[in-house]
Structure 1
Amino acid sequence: MTNRPPSEPESSQRTALGFDEFIAIMVAFATIGAILFWSFSRRDSSWNLNGLLSPSSTPSRSVQPNQVLPFPTGKVEPNAAPKNVLPSSPPEAVVEPKTPELPNNSATSSGAVLPSAQVIPSQSPQTPVSSSTGLESSITLSALPLVTPAKQKSIIPPPIAFNDVPNNFWGRRFIDVLSSRGILQGFPDYSFRPNQPVNRAEFAVILQKAFEQEPSKTAIAFQDVPAKFWATSAIDQAISAGFLKGYPKKTFNPQQNITRVQVLVALVSGLNLKAPTSPNQILSVYKDAKDIPTYATSKIAAATANSLVVNYPNPQILAPNKVATRAEVAAMIHQALVKRGKLERISSQNIVRRRSLSPKLSPTPKQNLKGNLSTGG
């Protein structure tokens, strides 16, 4: 046998870690774990490094909106939220670590940090997103349409289509205006009964709805108006507002039909219209002016001067003592609301209007004074 050089001794096994080395490794892992825990817990603040910098530190350059600044590690957080700015959180400045090679500008020399929009890297399709984050993203990213204020629609409902008021009826427009505002109502069979008389209790209810009177504080206890009468409150308000008056011995006569002259006197009294200086000249337009009661002369002249009188079929026939119909009451109530400025005028040949006289064409004593008044819209 030939002598061979002795073989190299086998490498000895690794010596077991010492106590100091074990402690160093544990400290290293704990440090790495703390850094990772801190980084994941700060992902909602978009890696805001303002807290790490001293109050005197300033950014080297301004950060523009929608600009992604590179981090020193060059890594993107895996669980980052979508690229958006939540409206509920205020914008925060993303500050890049100060580098000595970049010059300071005037903004940095003053020590002010300019706020900019918070920008977060976009999310990869494979990264799961929590339900709350996805909901906020869908709300923020959904485009809200611009709403242009449209023309305000009328809140007045259409008039009631009464089956007994044809389109060519003389008082149709007056009835339509009042019925659309709930001042006048029909009967259960969808009729209006325009030629039906109106009693004093019904007229008080119409006044209550037309002029929105306040509840009466001092009511008169009429002997013929029970406390639970259906029109008691309306009668009290009409009395307190000055539209109506009672009769002697504390009576009201609620079932008595009201005449045309009484309707006009009530409206002039409730509106507190002043009597004209020459009532007889104004009343001369009516062919039946002699039928006007003496107590109502000045009131009817005031009603004529303020276009409250509506006569059908002949505008020159007042018929003061005739029982007023529902259509006639509707027309006169309409004109009173026009005088109050609540309604617009309606052109009608049945409205008696006063025509102002020209100074150069003043009538002579022999001239017909009916020229002072005209009919029509």
Structure 2
Amino acid sequence: MTNRPPSEPESSQRTALGFDEFIAILIAFATIGAILFWSFSRKDSSWNLNGLLSTSPTPSVQPNQVLPSAAAKVEPNVVPNFNASPSPPPAAVVEPNTTSSPFDSTTPPVLGLPSVNVAPTQSSQAQSPVTSPGNVEPPIAASALPLVTPSAKKSTIPPPIAFNDVPNNFWSRRFIDVLSSRGILKGFPDYSFRPNQAVNRAEFAALLEKAFDQEVGKSATSYKDVPAKFWATPAISQALSAGFLKGYPNNTFKPQQKILRSQVLVALASGLNLKEPASPNQILNVYKDAKNIPQYATGKIAAATANGLVVNYPDPQVLAPNKEATRAEVAAMIHQALVHLGKLEEISSQNIVRSPRVSVRPTSPKKNPNSNFSSGNLVR
């Protein structure tokens, strides 16, 4: 036997798989298995490959996951909440087949309807929380609401005029403020009141007109020194018909004559129809200068004193009946007359004379009960 060279192995007709091909096949089967596992793990058993074939990626919704988007992703068969605010809804996700609501754990949800889990979002406007249909509270009956009755409109009194010559510590400041706030007193164009200026008869008649608002009589007496176009003619006629003032025997009124303090008190007592006391001198003894009171004025001044109309400054016991009345003094006495009629509240002042005896109130005072204090023209 001769040594022959080893023969070449015969090439096999079956070629074994290589390592790379084995790995590729393994990865392919693993991928297919993962897809099948993912598909069967979904609640929806139908084969829906639209999501796999879609070109735009769609994030999947996991249970109890809140999307960062401001809009909530709602699955089919979700009943919309009609009580939600028209503003953009807050972020929310749907939890299918949940058994409770985060807002009311004691109220069972409606079967077959998913509840909505709301995540709070920052918003400049107040938003209503989105609740599940099973947790919507019933509307409140109209009868359960408290009845609100509108309050009656209260009358407002404007602030007093800030006169530049009436300081806060002026003795008659409070009387002036009350009358100016009601339009009875008004000052001059330079915003002054001139409280120490004497008052003439025409100006006093104008003050009476605005303070008491008496009706003008049909038979008003005309005086030869009061022209028809005089600025105070209507006020003078009203003061005459109401019984506050009287003229002089020679058919004159003397509108420019300064009025005295005693004449102011007599006019107020006459117009208010105050009853004179039986013993006027007992009341007038409160004044140190009672002997200076004119005889014709004793009864009226005693009635005015008994009814709190007299205001004396600086000494309450000094009447000074023959002194010219100033604008501040007239304002204080008219204020007290309105207090007597119940039109104004009383002011606490040490300058008001308090009589030891009080006379009887008038039975029928000549006044208009519906007096309007806000009307009238400027006092000149």
Q: What corresponds to 1:263 in structure 2?
A: 264
Q: What corresponds to 1:246 in structure 2?
A: 247
* CA–CA distance in structure 1, aligned partners of residues 356 and 288 of structure 2: 18
Q: What corresponds to 1:334 in structure 2?
A: 335
TM-score normalised over the length of structure 2: 0.55
Q: What corresponds to 1:353 in structure 2?
A: 354
What's the offset of the Cα at 1:156? 1.4
Q: What corresponds to 2:39 in structure 1?
A: none
Q: What corresponds to 2:208 in structure 1?
A: 207
1:232 aligns with 2:228: no
1:299 aligns with 2:300: yes
What's the offset of the Cα at 1:153? 3.5
* CA–CA distance in structure 2, aligned partners of residues 273 and 202 of structure 1: 23
The residue correspondences of 1:6-21 to structure 2 (distance < 5 A) are none
Matched position secondary structure for 2:354? strand
Q: CA deviation digits over 1:83-135, x for unaligned, max 9?
A: xxxxxxxxxxxxxxxxxxxxxxxxxxxxxxxxxxxxxxxxxxxxxxxxxxxxx
* CA–CA distance in structure 2, aligned partners of residues 183 and 217 of structure 1: 25
What's the offset of the Cα at 1:155? 2.1
1:314 aligns with 2:336: no
Number of aligned pairs?
A: 216
Q: What corresponds to 2:289 in structure 1?
A: 288
* CA–CA distance in structure 1, aligned partners of residues 227 and 147 of structure 2: 60
The letter of the residue matching 1:257 is K
What's the offset of the Cα at 1:352? 0.4
TM-score normalised over the length of structure 1: 0.55
Matched position secondary structure for 1:354? coil
* CA–CA distance in structure 1, aligned partners of residues 348 and 208 of structure 2: 23
The letter of the residue matching 1:275 is E
* CA–CA distance in structure 2, aligned partners of residues 322 and 299 of structure 1: 17
Q: Which has the higher contact order (CA 8 A, sep 6+)?
A: 2
* CA–CA distance in structure 2, aligned partners of residues 150 and 241 of structure 1: 38
Q: What corresponds to 1:5 in structure 2?
A: none
Q: What corresponds to 1:174 in structure 2?
A: 175
* CA–CA distance in structure 2, aligned partners of residues 163 and 261 of structure 1: 29
The letter of the residue matching 1:196 is Q
Q: What corresponds to 1:133 in structure 2?
A: none
What's the offset of the Cα at 1:221? 1.6
Q: Which has the larger radius of gyration?
A: 2
Q: CA deviation digits over 1:28-51, x for unaligned, max 9?
A: xxxxxxxxxxxxxxxxxxxxxxxx
* CA–CA distance in structure 2, aligned partners of residues 193 and 151 of structure 1: 39
What's the offset of the Cα at 1:300? 0.8
Q: Is the 8 A contact 2:306 2:357 kept in 1?
A: no
Structure 1, unmatched stretches of 5+, are 1-142, 358-377
Q: What corresponds to 2:150 in structure 1?
A: 149
The letter of the residue matching 1:312 is Y
Of Structure 1 and Structure 2, the greater helix share is in 1
* CA–CA distance in structure 2, aligned partners of residues 323 and 184 of structure 1: 19
* CA–CA distance in structure 2, aligned partners of residues 246 and 147 of structure 1: 59
What's the offset of the Cα at 1:149? 2.3
Q: What corresponds to 2:111 in structure 1?
A: none
What's the offset of the Cα at 1:356? 5.0
Percent identity over paired residues:
79
* CA–CA distance in structure 1, aligned partners of residues 277 and 217 of structure 2: 30
